[in-house]
Amino acid sequence: MSYDLKKPVDPDEINDELGKLLVNISRQSVEYYFKNKKVMELPKDLPEILYRPGAAFTTIETYYSKEQHSLRGCIGFIEPIKPLIKTVIDVSIEAAFNDPRFEPMNPEELDTVTFEVSVLSKLEEAPKDKEGRINFIVIGRDGLVVERGYYRGLLLPQVPVENLWDKETFLSETCLKAGLWPDCWLDPKTKVYRYRAMAWKEVEPKGNIVRRDLALEYESLINKTR
């Protein structure tokens, strides 16, 4: 199979084998940084698709149990400006050491955190009207970006699933993430975008890596509350 090296990677092109590879490299990049105090070089001889431009986020969580974990760092690039593999390496370092919400990680934490990599699709702008924007979103599939002037906020599709938000709450929370008022999405002057994402994560620290089925997770959590 040949790849167009100028065409951005779509998450649907990433199979589970590649997703697991990305998560492994995400962890390895942080381990390498601890050991060598510099960013690891780009791995060679990987599948060509990983050298195409790609947008991605790395999420690091402190693991307490299967049911309990807490955010430790999350950073990403929404635009496919670097090779996907380079994006994953860079955002993993940023999530571990430069997320302004947390202190930098220390080496002892490597045995107590899980790594998750999300590969993002291109942005698609939503309609301007209220109903159009609500109907544009699918919980469990889409992430959101809200933009107004210099203000911009992004939430991954995992966030509304884990918090059991409906679509309007998801829109409002993305507005707040952008530093705007919660109902700014009702104003046509505010731009709203959706994007799709596929995510793979370690089940436990250094454990098996699985692809998350966010739609199934959302349905399961809703059923537990009934």
Nearest CA to 145 out of 190, 104, 102, 103 is that of 190
Residue 120: pLDDT band by 50, 70, 90 thresholds? very high
Asked whether residue 131 carries a pLDDT value surpassing 60, the answer given is yes
Q: Which two tokens stand for residue 195?
A: 């994007």
Per-residue CA distances from 71 to 35, 58, 79, 128, 206 (Å) = 23, 11, 23, 33, 17
pTM: 0.94
Calculate helix-pair angle for 16-36, 84-97, nearest 10 degrees.
50
Looking at the fold, whether 149 and 103 belong to one and the same domain comes out as no
Which of 121, 146, 173 lies at the terminal end of a domain, its last residue?
A: 121
How does pLDDT run across 172-197, given as a tens digit for each residue? 999 999 999 999 999 999 999 999 99
Q: What is the CATH number of the domain that holds 41?
A: 3.30.700.20
* DSSP letter assigned to residue 40: P
pLDDT-derived band of residue 6, with 50, 70 and 90 as boundaries?
Answer: confident
Same domain, 51 and 100: yes
Q: What percent of the chain has pLDDT over 90?
A: 94
CATH code, domain carrying 131: 3.30.1490.150
pLDDT of 124 above 80: yes
Q: In angstroms, how far is CA 38 from the centroid of its own chain?
A: 24
User: pLDDT for 54-105, tens place per residue?
Assistant: 999 999 999 999 889 999 999 999 999 999 999 999 999 999 999 999 999 9
- How far is it, in rounded angstroms, from Cα 217 to Cα 161? 7
Q: How many CB atoms lie within 10 A of CB 119?
A: 27
Binned at pLDDT 50, 70 and 90, residue 3 comes out as: low
Residues 134 and 95 in one domain: no
Alpha helix (H) residue ranges in 76-202: 84-97, 130-136, 158-163, 167-177
pLDDT value of position 225: 82
Torsion over CA: 85, 89, 91, 95 (sign): positive
Asked whether residue 215 is domain-assigned, the answer is: no
| pLDDT greater than 70 at residue 1 | no
Please check whether residue 28 lies inside any domain of the structure: yes
Q: For residue range 17-53, what is the model confidence (pLDDT) as tens digits?
A: 999 999 999 999 999 999 999 999 999 999 999 999 9
Domain that holds residue 166: 124-194
